[in-house]
Amino acid sequence: MSLNLNKLVDKAYEDKTINELLDAPPSALEGLTPKHDELLAELKIKTIRDLANWKYAVKAQALAALADSES
């Protein structure tokens, strides 16, 4: 199965594998810039993988998922 990730990433990264994307800087994500890379690096986030595994992002995702299931 092939996934089309083009709307998620910057044009320069459209031909990359998922693992290559995870190792890319956050600015590889559509809408983020090298300035965002600098700001995130101050939080020790240097790759998309770091961002995805950042404990605060994980906690925020968990809260959002719980909110979706709340009546």
Span 32-65, pLDDT tens digits: 999 999 999 999 999 999 999 999 999 999 999 9
Report yes or no on 55 lying in a domain. yes
- Domains held by the chain: number: 1
pTM: 0.86
Q: Can you spell out the DSSP letters for 13-70?
A: GTT--HHHHHTS-GGGBTT--HHHHHHHHTTT--SHHHHHH-HHHHHHHHHHHHHHH-
Report yes or no on 2 lying in a domain. no
Residue range(s) defining the domain that contains residue 56 = 7-70
Report yes or no on 1 lying in a domain. no
